[in-house]
Chain A
């Protein structure tokens, strides 16, 4: 055997305890796949819901255990420095799981529509005889549970990845299940499949940018580890050009997932076409994961070169806020409206990120959680307004809902006020946190654009409220389905957290503050 080769292999030390949350999620996803393979059809649904919720609760408990056992204060690198177990990593993992549990409740709902919102065999041609047979029997779709577990596990890996290759693998692990899940809508299946193809093609395109960026940065730093890139940025004598090309390409890949302008074009189509519970998952958990990656790359690998790239990302943040808000005003479909609002919200988080100091991290973490809960509840309510064709998402169909369903309209109004940033809602405290962090970081221009765009963005939200209360319902107005226990729980959690973090933000802000220290 070649002695040179022998010397090159050093076995990585893996701290299995520190990465247990990720292992639990991915392991339980494998259990879910086995359950899908070997259990009889009738048993699959209860077993999958159980496996999915147990995995996430166990993962969350492990994360809390790790955080309490001082991993947040004494962060470690493990698996050959490929994974970082630090405050932001644990916080983001926890956020992904907390939001994931609520999204799973929405996904598991089977009583609003018989058989659930997902089609069992999406590959059957829509409108064919086999499809009619499937529509008659309405079998339940249960593969969505292991898929969502894989996606959540990938997101947790993504936010704690400490080198570019691990990050890329994690990016694919959470993206591929999402592409599939987008195509599973029971109603309007062609729209759903179109959304999945668009998301897949554009997502693959952005992944290619990400990989090219990795190649550039490897050329610059001679390593894919964030720490080595940070060191090379200061000390290497090479031209910065390779580094900035690499950073730009990485940023394109990440900002695509975060839905920032001008990489946002997929968002409205995919959010509209995907089954609404999956849209809720994407709007909350994917946003957390994408910004987790952005935070770690910006704060660990490129902190010292921030004076050069911050203006460029600042322009993107302004574009994201302003264009997201302007296009939200013109929407006539509630899911597209929420999609453009999620684009604008990506701009607000980016504003917090660009503060480039400690409270920039903590306020972004806080904002991601507040927005996630509100958007989950909002999409949960969208699943309930239905007519004979499924969800009635056109805004004109929502006219007069305040009279037909006062409770639903009341909760939805509250969520819209939160999106608009009215005090006593988490939308206000979240925006206050990111804007004050950005002011502290000297980003006054961003804050001015942020405040202006959020004023503009209040208009479409309040228009929905006005529509629900001040207009007569049409003769064929959609009915409001009685939510099952799972959807009710998801809505209650979303609305209560929105209120709680609005009146008592310190309960989470303190946690975010104590977590806001990346390991280098």
Chain B
């Protein structure tokens, strides 16, 4: 592989960078400086970006989200296992059983500690 075909692209990159640098430095130097409020708004780009976040939400959703991830990951492992179950045989079955048991240990902990109660 030769890099010769890419030399023009590199040249274009350098030219582009130089042009951007030139424009950005020359404009504040030679341009007039007249400030007004409209200049600080988004320029013809639709609605104002809303800086206000959606507000506070109950911390319980955090726990729900974490539990969701646990089961999500479990499914990610279970699905390919189920598809190729016939090839994995007893070994795959035992390993998957172990995996599910460990997930359920965590689940039992969440349940006993009230992680599943909404209030």
Contact = CB atoms under 8 A, between A and B. Distances in A.
Interface string B58-102: 000000000000000000000000001011110110000000001
A36 B88 contact: no
Contacts of B109: 33-34, 36-37
A11 B91 contact: yes
Interface string A383-405: 00000000000000000000000
B84 A30 contact: no
Contacts, number: 31
Nearest to A38: B112
Interface in A19-67: 30, 33-34, 36-38
A365 to B, nearest CB: 32
B87 A37 contact: no
A33 B105 CA distance: 7
- Max chain A Cβ within 10 angstroms of own Cβ: one of B105, B108, B109, B113: B109
Interface stretch (A1-9, A227-235, A511-519): A1-9
Contacts of B113: 36-37
Decide if the interface of chain A is mainly helix, strand, loop or mixed: helix
Nearest to B111: A37
A95 B107 CA distance: 33
Interface residues of B, number: 15
B106 interface: yes
B108 A37 contact: yes
B88 A9 contact: yes
Nearest to A30: B105
Best-surrounded residue of B86, B105, B106 (most CB of chain A within 10 A): B105
A9 B112 contact: no
A364 B86 CA distance: 48
A6 B105 CA distance: 33
Contacts of A38: 108, 112
A37 B113 CA distance: 7
B86 A33 contact: no
- What is the predominant secondary structure among interface residues of chain B facing chain A? helix
Contacts of A37: 108-109, 111-113
Contacts of A5: 84, 87
A58 B106 CA distance: 24
A170 B89 CA distance: 27
B88 A33 contact: no
Interface residues of A, number: 11
Contacts of B87: 1, 5-6, 9
A373 B86 CA distance: 51
A37 B114 CA distance: 10
Contacts of B105: 30, 33-34
Contacts of A11: 88-89, 91-92
A439 B85 CA distance: 56
Of A34, A37, A38, most B-chain CB atoms within 10 Å: A37
A1 B87 CA distance: 10
Contacts of B111: 37
Contacts of A36: 109, 113
Contacts of A30: 102, 105
Nearest to A36: B109
Nearest to A35: B109
A16 to B, nearest CB: 11
A212 B109 CA distance: 34
A11 B111 CA distance: 35
Contacts of A1: 84, 86-87
Nearest to A123: B59
A11 B106 CA distance: 28
B84 A9 contact: yes
Given A11-B91, A38-B112, A33 B106 contact: yes
A34 B84 CA distance: 32
Nearest to B108: A37
A9 B108 CA distance: 33
Nearest to B89: A11
Contacts of B84: 1, 5, 9
A273 B106 CA distance: 28
Contacts of B112: 37-38
A152 to B, nearest CB: 17
A36 B102 CA distance: 15
Nearest to A12: B91
A37 B92 CA distance: 29
A238 B86 CA distance: 40
A240 to B, nearest CB: 17
A25 to B, nearest CB: 14
Nearest to B95: A14
A379 B24 CA distance: 56
Interface in A205-253: none
A1 B83 CA distance: 9
Contacts of A34: 105, 108-109
20 contacts: A1-B84, A1-B86, A5-B87, A9-B87, A11-B88, A11-B89, A11-B91, A30-B102, A30-B105, A33-B105, A33-B106, A33-B109, A34-B109, A36-B109, A36-B113, A37-B108, A37-B109, A37-B111, A37-B112, A38-B112
Closest 6 CB pairs of A and B: A37-B112, A37-B109, A30-B105, A37-B108, A11-B91, A33-B109
Interface of A: 1, 5-6, 9, 11, 30, 33-34, 36-38
Given A11-B91, A11-B92, 8 more contacts: A1-B87, A5-B87, A9-B87, A30-B105, A33-B105, A34-B108, A37-B109, A37-B113
